[in-house]
């Protein structure tokens, strides 16, 4: 063999070896990454080759699957009462990434979750039968909140204080997830929903923190009692009226000019929502102590999963004293979600203990066997002492009986609450946010519920926007549904 042929043979052999190495690398190392790639059409075809598992509310599936026509995707997702439950389910789309519970449990619902596989499935590579997601949602409470919010832009969350079960997650305006399921029509619906100035795709209950206004005064009151600044809610506070914020010539005004807010007790200050008392309290305590209490309730938590990850509610740092005063009334850069404010009321109602909120009770395999029970996997933290909780409950009940929250009164139910009207816009030039956070306990059956409501925008005149006028009736409707 001459030298030229020998060199060509060696070169050809090296090329073959390189191809073999590359093929081996692709098959054994890059294969899974290519299989999982979002642009791999085979994944979508496999996902929608058969019906998906379902999301369950009170024993009934609120999702389904239906046959398609003229597509290589054999099935598409369907929804029962889609607008009602959109903030819970999210959507599973042939064109877009899934959201909410559909996104969290994608693998379970399409049968690729390793928990679903039998030994035979592992050997044969067969896709397992899809599993189901069983929620904690109470349809009566969900419907009550959705109907009561009506045409407003707002949100509401209801919790069971004893168990942490989320009974309702409502966000309005809502949308129909069914419009996003079909790849052929989803694009038009997607553009329309994203162009809507009211942002119906936004989950306002979990993922839009806004200034909580005077509902945050409960956190400041808890800090004052726990710190020993005051012994009980009936002890007069050292609160000047008018209160000039430190380092400024600016008065922190009260909504009512005639309210008895000078040196008012915490009970009276919560009843009349005295800004001077809580602005001064925040400065007396200092931002570090107020922040510490807020964080015990869940503020500044970057990993608040229910299991959908809620956006963190924020109590800021690095404030001067005047900003700290504003933070004491839930303004400046303080923000909260309805979930967070429901957690505040839930902990107070539950003797100072907060059970981790969750809206999935359990997940099951295709045969209905439980894979994981979340009701048995809750975490309980003591936020405030039982005496502090008792004191705050007493004051919150005064707010509803004789104060700013009378629209939440329910016959046969002990109701405690706190209203809030949060300023919005430069120099408060936009319609305020109306808040109400509360708890109710049935005098008959002993059931309990905590509810927080936020109305971001309504048809009411600006002068008529208040927590009692807009948010308390929604909370009342949800509490009635939960406790009957």
- Positions annotated as catalytic residues are 214
Specify burial of residue 425 (Cβ count, 10 A radius: 0-12, 13-18, 19+).
exposed
- Separation CA 204–CA 222 (nearest Å): 26
Phi and psi at 349, nearest 5°, equal -65, -30
> Quick check: helix, strand or coil at residue 182?
coil
What does the alpha-carbon distance between residue 364 and residue 134 come to, in Å, rounded to a whole number? 8
Per-residue tokens: 126: 């067969």
Two structure tokens written together for 86: 């959109």
- The partner residues of 351 in beta bridges, in order of sequence, read none
CB 61 within 8 A of CB 101: no
* Structure token digits, residue 427: 């120099």
- 391 Cβ contact partners less than 8 Å away, ≥ 6 residues apart: 225, 232, 233, 266
E strands present in 216-317:
304-305, 309-310
CB proximity list for 141: less than 8 A, separation 6 or greater? 158, 167, 168, 449, 478, 481, 482
Residues 252 and 325: their CA atoms lie apart, in Å, by 8
| CB contact burial 315-344 (16+ within 10 A = b; e otherwise) | bbeebebbbbbbbbbbbbebbbbbbbbbbb
**Quick one: which of 140, 301, 294 has its CA closest to 206?**
301
DSSP bridge partners of 457:
153
Which element (helix H / strand E) includes 424?
A: strand 413-424
117 vs 131: CA distance, rounded Å: 11
Distance CA 418, CA 215 (A): 5
DSSP secondary structure letters along 112-160? --GGG--HHHHHH-PPPPP-EEEE---HHHHHHHHHHHTTSEEEEEEE-
410 token code pair = 């329910």
What are the structure tokens assigned to 173, written together? 């305006």
Burial class (CB in 10 A: 0-12, 13-18, 19+), 136: buried
């Amino acid at each position: 063999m001459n030298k030229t042929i020998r060199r060509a043979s060696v070169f050809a052999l090296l090329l073959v070896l390189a191809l073999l190495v590359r093929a081996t690398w692709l098959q054994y190392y890059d294969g899974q990454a290519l299989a999982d790639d979002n642009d791999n059409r085979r994944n979508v075809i496999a996902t929608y080759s058969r019906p998906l598992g379902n999301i369950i509310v009170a024993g009934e599936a609120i999702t389904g699957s239906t046959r398609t026509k003229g597509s290589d995707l054999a099935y598409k997702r369907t929804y029962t009462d889609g607008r009602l439950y959109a903030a819970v389910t999210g959507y599973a789309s042939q064109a877009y990434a899934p959201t909410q519970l559909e996104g969290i449990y994608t693998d379970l619902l399409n049968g690729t979750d390793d928990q679903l596989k039998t030994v035979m499935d592992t050997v044969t590579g067969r896709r397992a039968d899809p599993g189901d997601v069983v929620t904690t949602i109470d349809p009566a409470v969900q419907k009550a909140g959705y109907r009561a919010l009506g045409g407003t832009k707002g949100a509401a969350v209801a919790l069971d204080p004893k168990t942490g079960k989320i009974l309702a997650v409502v966000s309005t305006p809502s949308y129909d997830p069914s419009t996003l399921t079909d790849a052929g029509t989803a694009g038009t619906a997607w553009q329309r929903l994203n162009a809507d100035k009211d942002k119906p795709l936004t989950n306002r209950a979990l993922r839009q923190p806004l200034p909580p206004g005077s509902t945050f005064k409960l956190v400041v009151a808890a800090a004052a009692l726990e710190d020993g600044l005051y012994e009980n809610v009936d002890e007069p506070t050292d609160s000047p009226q008018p209160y000039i914020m430190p380092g400024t010539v600016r008065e922190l005004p009260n909504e009512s000019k005639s309210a008895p807010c000078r040196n008012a007790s915490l009970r009276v200050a919560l009843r009349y929502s005295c800004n001077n008392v809580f602005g001064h309290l925040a400065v007396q305590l200092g931002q570090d102590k107020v922040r510490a209490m807020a964080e015990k309730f869940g503020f500044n938590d970057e990993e608040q999963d229910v299991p959908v990850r809620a956006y963190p509610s924020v109590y800021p740092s690095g404030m001067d004293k005047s900003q700290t005063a504003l933070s004491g009334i839930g303004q400046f850069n303080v923000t909260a979600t309805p979930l967070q404010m429901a957690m505040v009321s839930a902990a107070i109602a539950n003797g100072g203990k907060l059970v981790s909120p969750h809206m999935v009770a359990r997940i099951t395999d295709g045969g209905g066997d439980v894979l994981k029970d979340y009701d048995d996997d809750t975490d309980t933290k003591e936020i405030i002492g039982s005496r502090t909780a008792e004191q705050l409950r007493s004051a919150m009940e005064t707010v509803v009986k004789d104060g700013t929250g009378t629209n939440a009164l329910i016959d046969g139910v002990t109701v405690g609450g706190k209203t809030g009207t949060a300023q919005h816009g430069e120099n408060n030039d936009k319609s305020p946010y109306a808040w109400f956070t509360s708890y109710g306990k049935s005098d008959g059956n002993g059931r309990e519920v905590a509810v927080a409501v936020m109305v971001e925008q309504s048809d009411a005149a600006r002068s008529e926007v208040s927590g009692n006028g807009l948010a308390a009736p929604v909370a009342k409707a949800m509490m009635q549904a939960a406790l009957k």
